[in-house]
Structure 1
C-alpha cells in the first residue's frame, strides 16, 4: 500500500467519487480507501439474470439539476426520461379510485399542517390525525425517509421536499454503474480495505488498515452516519462533536427485492401497485421496469426492518404474498426470488440514507464542518437539502474538495 498521499478519501461512493474528481483535477495525489470489494457505495448495480438491477439508489432525482445526469450523458449511458409510475395503482387493484382520493387527501392535509403550523416538537407524527389512512402516510414516510414519522424532523422533511424539482430519470445501465465509472483514472483506489482507526498527530492524519497505516495531510471522510457514530472505526476524541451530529442523523431502513417474472402473467410493463395502502408495513412494487421480466419490490421503514429481522426468505415470501393477494393466487407460479439488498447488515454502511431526528435538522451543517483544516466531511447526510440522494452526496463531495483546496492554498 502507498505510504502517503496529498489527500486520502474514505469511501468510493458518490461523495468520494466527486471529491476525487475535483482534487485529482486540481493536481493533487488522491488515494481512495473503500471497505467494500467494489466501488459505488450505496449506488450498487447488481448483474442478475442478465439484467443490471439497482439495489441502491435507482433514480436521478431532481434530474434537471442533478449533476449525475450530465455525467451520464457524457459517459454515453442511456438516460431514460419517461415519467415514473409512482402515485398510480395498476387497474386500481385493492385500492379503488375513491380510496385513492381519500388517501391522497389525508396525506395532503397532513402536509399542509406541517407546512403551515409545524408542531413545536418538530416531530412529523405530531401533525397526524387519527383516521383510516394513517398507515398510508406512515408507509410513505418509510419509503422516503426509512423510518416512522415520530422519528422524522419536520424542518428536515420540508427542506428536501421544497428543494426537489420532482423530475426523475433513470439510467438503463444502472446508477451504480454510473457512479463507479466516474472514478478518475488518476486516483489510486484500494477496494476491500476497511479503515480500522483514524489518528491525528504532527499535522498528519493516519488511517490504520489491515494492510498497514497510510498517512496524509488531509482526509475526506464520506462514511455513512451510522459508521461515523458507531464503533466500526476508532475515531479520535476530537471528533466527538461530529460523531454526535452523525448520531442525530441516523440511517433509515430501506431495502429492495427483485422478483423474476416468467410465463404468461398479468404483470404489465411500467406499472406500480402498493400491496396494502392501509398498512405502514406494505411494499411498493414497480412492475417490469424497462419492460424487463422483473418486479422491483421496495420496502421502507417498518417493512424493511421486518425484512432485515426475518431474513430474505421471509421477505420474498411476504412480497409474493402481497402480489398474489392483488393479482390472484396463480401468479405465485410466475414469480421467483432473484436478488435482494442488505444495507442494514452491511458492516461498512449500516442502513439506507439519513434523516434528521426531531429538533436535529441543524446537525447536517454541524457534520459538514471541517476539523482542524485536516479532516473534511462529505456524504449525503451533510447536504442541507438534497440529503438521501446520490446527487446530494456528489455536491457534498465537491464542497469538501473545495474546502481542501482552500486549505492547501491558504
Structure 2
C-alpha cells in the first residue's frame, strides 16, 4: 500500500489478468496506482481451486496457453512456474469407439482460407453459419466445424464474423493459436495471477478487493470512481489523473458501471462484439479408468495410426450434449473435464446444477460406453462455475460479431488521454484468451505512460 496519501495517478478497474498486468507495469514505471476489484480475490476469470483431495489444481475458468508465442507463456516462465506441454492427441469418440481425428486442424485451416476468399469476393463480412450451410461444405465436415466454432470460440455461428477468422489466417496467428502447441500451468493459473500481484510495487500500489465500481465521472486529466463494498455499503470515491478500464465485455455492455459523460463510441464498439457462454465441469473419479490398457484396447480402432497414441488427452464427440472432454495429461490424475460452448452451453446453464451433472454423466456414458450407474459409483466429486450468472463476469469470453472486425481496436482506443481500455475483448488477434488480456493490459500501460510521464 502506498506509504503516503498523495493523489493517485491511475485507477485500474478490475484485478484480472489485464488489470494486474497494467498495474504492474505502471507501478514499476513510478506511478501511484489503485486497483479496484469487485471480487474478494484477484484473477478475474482465472479461477483455480486447490482441493487437497485432488492431485492437480482444478481450473474452473481459463486453463490453456494457446501457442508458443502467447504472452501467458513468457510471463509464466518469467515467474518460474512449471509449464507442461499437452500431448497433441485428439480423438473422435462415438458410442465407445475411439479413432484419431486425422488432420482436423487442416480442415479448420481450409475453412479459414475459404472464408478469406469469400470475404474478398463479396467485399463485406458475413456470418460463418452461411459458409457452414453452403453446398461446398460436406455434411460430414459440417458438424465437426460447427462443434469446433461453438467450443473453441464459444460462438453462435450465425453471429460469428467470417472476416475475423479470415483475418487471423492472413495474419498467420490462427494456426499457432488453434493448432499449435498447447500448454498448462502445472501450479495452477492462479499462481500466475499471484505472481503479477506480488510484483506490484508495494510503495506505489494499493489493491482494494470487495470494492464494486458503480460510476466513473471523468474529464480530461481527472477521474473519480464511486464504489460500494461487498456488503453494498457506500465507500468514499477514489480519484486519479487517469483510469484503465479492464471490466469484462458483458459487464460493460450491461451498463452496471455508469460513465459520465457517456461514451457513445464505446457503446457502438461493444455492440459489435459478442459474449460467449460456456459450460465447463470437472469430474473427479476414484480412479482414471479411461487410461487403463484394456479400456483403451477395447475402444480404439485397430490400425497403425493408433499405435503411438498413448493415454487419452482430448476427446471430441460430434453431436453429444457435452461434446469435448480432456484429461490432465501429461500429469496422470482421476480428473475428466467436460466442455461445451454457445447454444448447448446456454441450454445446460438454464438447468439447475443437479440436472447439469446428470446430463453430463449421461453424455459421458454414451461417449465412452460406460454404464451411467458405474460412472456415478466411480464419481467422487464435481466442480463447475456459472460465469453467465456471475455478476462480475456475466459470460465466459468474447468473440467478434458480424461487421465488428475493427470493434476491439475501437474499444481499446484511449479517450482524451484520460480513460484507457484493456481486457481480452480489446485484443482482436487474441480475443477470448488470457494472453490477449495480458498483452492488452501492458499495451494500455504504455499508452498511459506516454500521457502521464
Q: Is the structural similarity TM-score above 0.5?
A: yes
- Bigger radius of gyration among the two: 2
1:219, 1:340 → 2: CA distance?
33
Work out whether 1:56 is the aligned partner of 2:49.
no
Question: Structure 1 residues 404, 149: closer, same or farther in 2, change over 3 A?
Answer: same
Work out whether 1:16 is the aligned partner of 2:40.
no
Partner of 1:250: 274
Work out whether 1:42 is the aligned partner of 2:45.
yes
Partner of 1:301: 342
- Judge conservation of contact 1:265–1:331 (CA < 8 Å) in 2: no
Partner of 1:167: 181
Partner of 1:185: 200
Partner of 2:226: 208
Partner of 2:299: none
1:176, 1:305 → 2: CA distance?
26
- Judge conservation of contact 2:288–2:335 (CA < 8 Å) in 1: no
Q: Per-residue deviation at 1:237?
A: 4.0
1:380, 1:343 → 2: CA distance?
15
Partner of 1:71: 75
Render the CA deviation track for 1:18-49: whole Å, top value 9, x for unaligned: 11111011000111111111101111211233
Partner of 1:134: 142
Q: Per-residue deviation at 1:389?
A: 1.0
Runs of 4+ in structure 1 deviating by more than 6 angstroms, as ranges, are: 102-106
Q: Per-residue deviation at 1:271?
A: 2.4
2:128 to 109, 124, 129: 124
Does 342-351 or 265-274 show the bigger shift? 265-274
1:226, 1:11 → 2: CA distance?
14
1:194 to 212, 215, 219: 212
Question: Structure 1 residues 361, 60: closer, same or farther in 2, change over 3 A?
Answer: same
- The gaps in structure 1 that reach 5 residues or longer are none
2:323 to 279, 283, 290: 283
Question: Where in structure 2 are the equivalents of 1:334-345 lying within 5 Å?
Answer: 334-345=378-389
Report the TM-score, using the length of structure 2 for normalisation: 0.82
- Judge conservation of contact 1:264–1:334 (CA < 8 Å) in 2: no
Q: Per-residue deviation at 1:310?
A: 0.9
Work out whether 1:234 is the aligned partner of 2:258.
yes
Q: Per-residue deviation at 1:104?
A: 7.5
1:348 to 392, 406, 417: 392
Q: Per-residue deviation at 1:285?
A: 1.0
Q: Per-residue deviation at 1:132?
A: 4.2
2:224, 2:273 → 1: CA distance?
26
Q: Per-residue deviation at 1:258?
A: 0.5
Work out whether 1:26 is the aligned partner of 2:26.
no
1:271 to 303, 309, 313: 313
2:162, 2:151 → 1: CA distance?
16
- Judge conservation of contact 1:260–1:293 (CA < 8 Å) in 2: yes
Does 351-360 or 334-343 show the bigger shift? 334-343
Secondary structure at 1:194 match in 2: strand
2:354 to 304, 313, 317: 313
Secondary structure at 1:257 match in 2: strand
2:365 to 318, 321, 324: 324
1:259, 1:360 → 2: CA distance?
37
Q: Per-residue deviation at 1:101?
A: 5.8
Partner of 2:424: 380
Does 389-398 or 333-342 show the bigger shift? 333-342
- Judge conservation of contact 2:220–2:418 (CA < 8 Å) in 1: no
Question: Structure 1 residues 392, 104: closer, same or farther in 2, change over 3 A?
Answer: closer
1:277, 1:246 → 2: CA distance?
32
Partner of 1:371: 415
1:122, 1:376 → 2: CA distance?
30
Q: Aligned pair count?
A: 403
Secondary structure at 2:400 match in 1: coil
Render the CA deviation track for 1:66-114: whole Å, top value 9, x for unaligned: 23223222322111124343x32369944656xx569888756544421
1:221 to 238, 245, 254: 245
Q: Per-residue deviation at 1:11?
A: 0.7
1:4, 1:80 → 2: CA distance?
43
Partner of 1:113: 114
Render the CA deviation track for 1:222-249: whole Å, top value 9, x for unaligned: 0111111212212224312112212211
Report the TM-score, using the length of structure 1 for normalisation: 0.90
Question: Structure 1 residues 108, 277: closer, same or farther in 2, change over 3 A?
Answer: farther
Work out whether 1:403 is the aligned partner of 2:444.
no
Question: Structure 1 residues 116, 201: closer, same or farther in 2, change over 3 A?
Answer: closer
Q: CA RMSD in A?
A: 2.5
2:281, 2:428 → 1: CA distance?
30
Q: Per-residue deviation at 1:198?
A: 0.9
Does 394-403 or 295-304 show the bigger shift? 295-304
1:25, 1:270 → 2: CA distance?
44
